Amino acid sequence: MSLDDFHLSTFLPYRLAVLSERVSKRLSVEYGRTHGLAVAEWRVLVHLLRCGAVSVRDIHNCVNLEKPRVSRAVTRLEAEGLVQKTPGAHDGRLVAISLTKKGHAALADILPVATRIEESLTHAVSPDDLKTFFDVMEAMHAVLDADPEAKPRTSLDLAQTQE
Amino acid sequence: MSLDDFHLSTFLPYRLAVLSERVSKRLSVEYGRTHGLAVAEWRVLVHLLRCGAVSVRDIHNCVNLEKPRVSRAVTRLEAEGLVQKTPGAHDGRLVAISLTKKGHAALADILPVATRIEESLTHAVSPDDLKTFFDVMEAMHAVLDADPEAKPRTSLDLAQTQE
DNA sequence: TCAATATCATTTCATTTGCAACGATTTTTA
DNA sequence: TAAAAATCGTTGCAAATGAAATGATATTGA
């Protein structure tokens, strides 16, 4: 292929990055405006909703955030009163992080909005095409899973594929 | 929908972010190792290959990078000798940025590797499914185009859709 | 039992990032 | 033509980020 035939705007990694960033930013407008949440905080809250009281390490392993980023997100969320930290019962190193009532209420506020935005995107195409879309994403993940240079998937993202 | 039915791992914005980041990181391994390039520098180089001598503003408008980030990427690339800055001929405010021989050579090195990685991903699915995949991405962009809260697309990414 | 190793959450530090402000130049308008 | 407004690239600054180090606690193995 000649060098000059290369188009950035048709390059898969670039296209993925552009769409992903655009979607994320659109979403941030909502939960930033309503509750002052950043992406990391949003992910932590949602994970807690499903998994109850968990450690920083567990969140890190599940939602694709580096450990320090999780730790800082939890600190901010605790300061806002949306989560609480309890010293580990059996293991003094662990911290059990869980939603407070206020955190639960915040999620009840934001989740419908987030879901509505997601649906505005998914409803723009047919169910068949949407399924193909996710299948393709999964196929690309599978390629990376087999690539020793690629970062491994989190346990939770892997579990997702086995439904 | 009950709150507890919400799965982060099936949430479209999250899935996009995870795949995009994974692909970008895989790519960074290559052009980081071979030429010490970051994503912004990579995008600038590739844009210059297509568009010759252009301004910072033009790059900013084309490759989805904030203006200061472009400016800093260009500074680094110039220090490495991969691009050159020429004072604008007709407009003293403008700077004409273009590839040097060394920059061209670096691209000749990296582009085949980047293309190979891209193909390892796209070849994992049928051409039909891949077309559907990109059609769905475009449909989602179209939704955001109609959303006043969303950030507009760059001119180049828009032009891409009209082929 | 107790020293060596491993694990957990946090913090430190250097770097990156984006917003806003800036000086310099050009264009517009009165 | 002269002043006002707009545009260009860069820089200041505060916040975010990731890698590595740290202190604290658990676990392992001699």
Q: Which two tokens stand for residue B155?
A: 């001119």
Q: φ, ψ for residue A37 (rounded to 5)?
A: -95, 145
pLDDT tens-digit map of B82-101: 999 998 888 999 999 999 99
CB B97 within 8 A of CB B85: yes
Question: What are the tens digits of pLDDT across the range B9-23?
Answer: 999 999 999 999 999
Nucleotides of D under 7 A from a protein CB: 7-12, 16-20, 23-27
Contacts of B42 in chain A (CB under 8 A): none
Per-residue pLDDT of chain B (163 residues; tens, 9 = 90+): 677 789 999 999 999 999 999 999 999 999 888 888 999 999 999 999 999 889 999 999 999 999 999 999 999 999 999 999 998 888 999 999 999 999 999 999 999 999 999 999 999 999 999 999 999 999 999 999 999 999 999 878 876 655 4
Restricting to B residues 77-96, those with a Cβ less than 8 Å away from any Cβ of A are: none
The residue count for chain A: 163
Chain A to chain B Cβ contacts (< 8 Å): 199
Looking at chain A, list the stretches that DSSP marks H as alpha helix, in order from N- to C-terminal side: 12-35, 39-51, 56-62, 67-79, 101-122, 127-145, 155-159
Reported confidence tier of residue A31, pLDDT bands at 50, 70, 90: confident
Residues 6+ apart with CB under 8 A from A88: A55, A94, A95, A96
Q: What angle do CA B6, A31, A46 make, to 5 degrees?
A: 30
Give me A11's structure tokens: 């390059």
Which of A5, A8, A109, A129 to mutate against chain B (most B CBs within 10 Å)? A8
Spatial distance between the Cα atoms of A120 and B144, rounded to a whole number of angstroms:
9
Instruction: Give DSSP secondary structure letters for B83-138.
Output: EEEEE-SS-TT-EEEEE-HHHHHHHHHHHHHHHHHHHHHHTTS-HHHHHHHHHHHH
Closest CB from B7, B22, B132 relative to A150: B22
Interface check for B116 against chain A (CB to CB < 8 A): the answer is no
The rounded distance, in Å, linking the Cα atoms of A79 and A134 is 37
Q: Provide the 10 A C-beta neighbour count for residue A130.
A: 18
Name chain A contacts of B26, Cβ cutoff 8 Å.
Answer: 144, 147, 149-151
Residue found by looking up tokens 């003094």 in the block: A92
Average pLDDT on A111-139 reads 97
DSSP class of residue B54 equals B
Say which residue, A95 or A5, is predicted with more confidence: A95
Please say if the pLDDT value at position A134 is more than 50: yes
Give the residue on A whose Cα is nearest the Cα of B47.
A8
Sign (positive or negative) of CA dihedral A99, A100, A101, A106: negative
Q: How near does any CA of chain A get to the CA of B51, in Å?
A: 10
Tokens representing B81? 């000798």
Which is nearest to B125 in space by CA: B113, B133, B117?
B133
- Give 3-state DSSP helix, strand, coil % of chain A, rounded to 5: 70, 5, 25
Query: How far is B19 from A132, CA to CA, in rounded Å?
Result: 16
Which candidate from B13, B23, B112 shows the least CB-CB separation from A24? B13
Amino acid, single-letter form, for residue B94: L
Interval A46-92: pLDDT, tens: 999 999 889 999 999 999 999 999 999 999 999 999 999 998 778 88
| Structure confidence at residue B160 (pLDDT) | 60
> For residue B161, what pLDDT is reported?
58
Does pLDDT of A33 surpass 90?
no
Determine the pLDDT at residue A89: 78
Residues ≥6 apart with Cβ < 8 Å to B41 = B73, B76, B77, B82
What is the structure's pLDDT at B158? 78
Q: Is the CB of residue A75 inside 7 Å of nucleic acid strand C?
A: yes
Name the residue in chain B with its Cα closest to that of A65.
B18
Closest protein residue to C24 using CA and C1' atoms? B93
**What Cα–Cα distance (Å) separates residue A135 from each residue in A5, A36, B49?**
29, 34, 34
